[in-house]
Amino acid sequence: MARILITSAIPYINGIKHLGNLVGSQLPADLYARYCRARGHEVMFICATDEHGTPAELAAAKVGKPVEAYCAEMHEVQKEIAAGFRLSFDHFGRSSSARNHRLTQHFAGALADNGLIEEVSEKQVFSITDNRFLPDRYIEGTCPNCGYTRARGDQCEECTKQLDPTDLINPRSAISGSTDLEVRQTKHLYLRQRALRGKLEAWIDSKTDWPILTTSIAKKWLNDGDGLQDRGITRDLHWGVPVKRGEADWPGMEGKVFYVWFDAPIEYIAATAEWADAHGLPDAAWQRWWRTDLGADDVRYVQFMGKDNVPFHTLSFPATIMGSGEPWKLVDYIKSFNYLNYDGGQFSTSQGRGVFMDQALSILPADYWRWWLLSHAPESSDSEFTWENFQASVNKDLADVLGNLVSRVTKFARAKFGETVPAGGSFGPREQALIDDLTSGLRAYEACMQAMEVRKAAAELRALWVAGNEYLQNAAPWTVVKTDPEHAQAMVRLALNLIRVYAVISQPFIPDAAASMMAAMGSDDWAWPDDLAASLAALPPGHAFSVPEVLFAKITDESRADWQQRFSGIRA
């Protein structure tokens, strides 16, 4: 069996994320992790909260809390919501951890030792009122190109023109609104990414199996315009990893911190070390996942992320790893996603438009959301959440197909044969045809899951559920029992075993429903059905089962209309 390292892009700390964020990284990563575990592979699934930078400071100030306390609180909130969606992380870490501080400083030192860090003097905008340098995005003013009055210092959102803060007309602080700004000289560290261009290009070119979305974005950033640029990795901020060269102070960098996009990906490694610490394990336990000289040479490393994160994970983070000159594991496969839009527009964290993760769990169980999001994952293009589509998918796929099968089989079996698997009869041609169809369908499902083709995998899984329903409809054991009760018993025995098989193969998508199905079948045998015929005999005659509660309640038109109205406005 393989060893598989899985990381999801780490969510930022400032607030609860919406469903678009969930389906863009964490949820499909969880799907793949669950599937790999089900197939017997050794899996390390890592995520964390991304806690540094100006947005965290501002979010904390907005609620009147010290930034450290705010981040600690929001980490627990995000951790609890992730658990609510049944995201099966082996560890959910924090980029503010001591481990990440040390590792970030270590990488900076290694890069400097290899001549890949350059000190650059530059001019930046300083707010007298705020007593701080302002990152480009926290300077607002009038766009010189289109006249939009709320253009940011890095880009005008109205006309999309790239800007420098000094381009803005009537610039002001986005923090305080103050216009008491001045340009001051400051010094920062830059990662010399251009010096690594050849290595990065060769590495990207070698990844011939990557999704087109991932490769196209990586090559665009590598080649378009001015091509790969050296990148600043420090900031004049208060909250972050202090700039050090390994364990030593860095002269001239006092009071500065590393840029959040330098330290955040390093948290993947640090969070794995945090996992080892939490379990009282030695460093070798996490190093075997990350150091190719200590066992990670046989690890397959897969990353999941939205398309906006691809440039950092195909260029900047690999540059850090390569530039260190040390034997760290580079990613093998990057599964990237387009955007999920919301009901005719866009999800908006700032405007509160759309369904946020905590709100979703407050109105429906996790499996409802997991199924819709994964079966409509924005892989080849952007996709759109609409309440009508959500209602139809839940009602048809989950309630009418899977839930109905489980209910019909268990209730009929109990009514006619009691609450144990019936012993009579043997399979006929119709049953054998079902087994053959399910076997070929299962192989197709496995191929999609292995290839991380999420929507196709959902379609193949649904087809497996439909095949069971069609068998029952055509075989009609409720009619056969009147004329050939022995054969009806064989049909029911097959159907009860099919419920257990459905639980096993559906678990990566809908873990709570799968657990309910397995419990109803009185089983804890989660073995993957490599031999489907054998798996469909796993529950022997006389084995006790029960009738579960309704797996999926249908969404009414009234509920749909209510939710559509409730989540269309500004969130308080």
Does residue 388 sit in helix, strand or coil? helix
Distances (CA, A) of 557 to 391, 392, 403, 525, 563: 8, 10, 19, 38, 10
- As given in the structure block, the two tokens for residue 396 are 């048809």
Is 156 annotated as a binding-site member? yes
Q: How many CA atoms lie within 13 A of 41 on its CB side?
A: 20
What number of other Cβ atoms are within 10 A of residue 229's Cβ?
13
CA separation for the pair 365, 513 (Å, rounded): 10
Is 49 annotated as a binding-site member? no
- As given in the structure block, the two tokens for residue 547 are 């009738």
CB neighbours of 535 closer than 8 A, spacing ≥ 6?
Answer: 497, 500, 501, 504, 527, 529
What number of other Cβ atoms are within 10 A of residue 339's Cβ?
18
* Beta bridge partners of residue 151, listed in sequence order: 141
Query: Do the beta carbons of residue 95 and residue 49 sit within 8 Å?
Result: yes
Helix axes 260-278, 317-324, angle to 10 degrees: 70
Nearest to residue 239, comparing CAs of 74, 127, 71?
Answer: 71
CA separation for the pair 508, 30 (Å, rounded): 8
Burial 444-459 (b: 16+ CB within 10 A, else e): bbbebbeebbbbbbbe
To which residue do tokens 């398309």 refer? 307
DSSP string, 248-276: EE-TT-TT-EE-HHHHHHHHHHHHHHHHH
Calculate ∠ Cα 208-210-212, nearest 5°.
Answer: 100
Backbone angles phi, psi at 333, to 5 degrees: -150, 130
Does residue 291 sit in helix, strand or coil? strand
Length of the chain: 572
* Beta bridge partners of residue 4, listed in sequence order: 43, 300
CA separation for the pair 348, 571 (Å, rounded): 10
In the 8-state DSSP scheme, what is residue 12?
A: B
- As given in the structure block, the two tokens for residue 242 are 């202090």
In the 8-state DSSP scheme, what is residue 315?
A: I
Return left, alpha or beta for 560; rule: phi > 0 is left, psi -120 to 50 is alpha, else beta.
Answer: alpha
What number of other Cβ atoms are within 10 A of residue 284's Cβ?
11
CA separation for the pair 436, 422 (Å, rounded): 23
Is 71 annotated as a binding-site member? no
Annotated binding site: 143, 146, 156, 159, 349
Annotated binding site for Zn(2+): 143, 146, 156, 159
Annotated binding site for ATP: 349
